[in-house]
Chain A
């Protein structure tokens, strides 16, 4: 009867053009649609698969202000049993991990899943920080996850290969593509999501370790140099003499 916690973040839709305001210090959210972080969607989908027919449960947790509730409801519609929202702006990974660890210390879980990274902050830090704060093992970028009794088997990506590990629960794992196919909420899920419990709790105090000062957008590239399709030798020459990359 595995109890699973899935950490979910609310991020700008992947098609968003990223711009900033206030002298490049604030992300411009105007007109931006927010979604459940794609990696978290995979984590949640796997969590539901792992509990189906076992009596296990899936809870989702988000650190965010009230505006994230549509994303939390989406997670409930996909199949989480209940949700927790820590009512605070997610300042940085350390802040978020501290909030989630604070909750888990009083409400233990067998398996805690995060996405490999959030597509806005891309820290890939929450899993490791949570593991350390709770003093349990963490694995960061996993492609496969199964649970048998009290032991998890995970496949982790390494440069040019993979590693398979077995680890006794409880653990924290950050999921990448391959762990599951994203589940799409059905009508029943959407209806029941409205009435599933969503507990709002207040944040714990955390000392700041970092602060975002400003943002930059990448320098635009120059005009493309087009080469005729039958003149590939010219391209090779340009890559060698002009770009100096071969």
Chain B
């Protein structure tokens, strides 16, 4: 059962979610006593590629064709499927990122493979069955899904598997895929990528604000707290609906689902739709002036108090902690 993993780069660099996915794919390869091949597509330096061996790649296929420099969903899916065929891979792992969620279903169809999106744990393999655990009902539950096809595609949720270092050489080979012209219909007009901010889906710590913060002018302290923690900022739905914060920060059932190590909710009531998207966070801290706020029921730590007093004090305490 050779395993293939697609290592997505962001502007030529690999993020932690890629190392997690490689570590995860390595563990599947080990379950089956087989090899792990990583495929990278785009403009990535040899040094960056060489580092992938550290996380368990036996081999790294590098596709650095000029036309494939930028992400093109259809073409990238063709390349990944072709690599899977060449390597006779029967498990293909893709990170469940924005781009990954566009790729996995296309790769699945090309390989006639069952696709497990939103996977959060290693597959169970016994008695010829291959089952995976995936999020369902917007984080309110998990589904155990059996992939019954010979080839399987798994999209792994960032932050659900830890990075493990197992040095395996990771020999780099060039890979030239034949991609048909009609795969390049989508034309990139503009790309904006903030490099100075932690992006929400990758963040290990998220600081989130709700309607309790009264208005956009009060987000200064949320951002300061986030900066101190190296965290991403998020918000509840009414906050983005009101235009206080961009839609890309909205978490919950109809927003982004996050599973950071630490989620700090400030002035958020904890409505069921909000909790759906954040309840798989490892540790939850709630700051709310209402002791009856439902969020306290799912919190690990809580402070009942006025955010406008508590947050500046928390910032001060953190600065002190960092200084010591």
Tell me the A residues contacting B by CB distance below 8 Å: 12, 14-18, 20, 27, 38-39, 93-94, 97, 119-129, 131-133, 135, 137-141, 143, 153, 156-168, 176-178, 208-218, 221-222, 224-230, 232-233, 235-240, 243, 245-246
Tell me the B residues contacting A by CB distance below 8 Å: 10, 15, 71, 73-74, 77, 97-99, 101-106, 108-110, 112-118, 131, 133, 135-149, 182, 185-195, 197-202, 205, 229, 240, 247-248, 250, 253-255, 257, 261-262, 272-273, 276, 279-280, 282-286, 296-306, 309-310, 313-314, 316-318, 320-321
Contacts A94-B108, A161-B194 given; does A122 touch B303 at CB 8 Å: no
Smallest Cβ distance from B255 to chain A, in angstroms?
7
| 25 residue pairs A–B, Cβ–Cβ below 8 Å | A14-B272, A15-B272, A20-B141, A27-B137, A94-B108, A124-B101, A128-B77, A135-B182, A159-B97, A160-B200, A160-B202, A161-B191, A163-B71, A163-B191, A210-B115, A210-B146, A210-B149, A211-B145, A215-B141, A216-B141, A217-B140, A221-B300, A224-B301, A226-B303, A229-B305
Given contacts A122-B135, A159-B201, A213-B131, 18 further A-B contacts (CB under 8 A): A15-B273, A38-B254, A127-B102, A132-B105, A141-B101, A157-B248, A160-B199, A161-B199, A167-B186, A209-B114, A210-B149, A218-B140, A218-B142, A226-B302, A229-B309, A236-B321, A239-B283, A240-B321
- Partner of B247 from the list A178, A236, A237 (CB cut-off 8 Å) is A178
Q: Say whether B118 contacts A122, CB under 8 Å.
A: yes
> Which of chain B's residues have a CB closer than 8 A to the CB of A233?
317, 320-321
> Which of chain A's residues have a CB closer than 8 A to the CB of B191?
158, 161-164
Q: Say whether A235 contacts B314, CB under 8 Å.
A: yes
- Partner of B301 from the list A123, A140, A153, A238 (CB cut-off 8 Å) is A238
Bound CA–CA A215/B254 (angstroms)? 21
Q: Tell me which of A20, A131, A135 has the highest count of chain B C-beta atoms within 10 A of its own C-beta.
A: A131
> Which of chain B's residues have a CB closer than 8 A to the CB of A138?
73-74, 102, 106
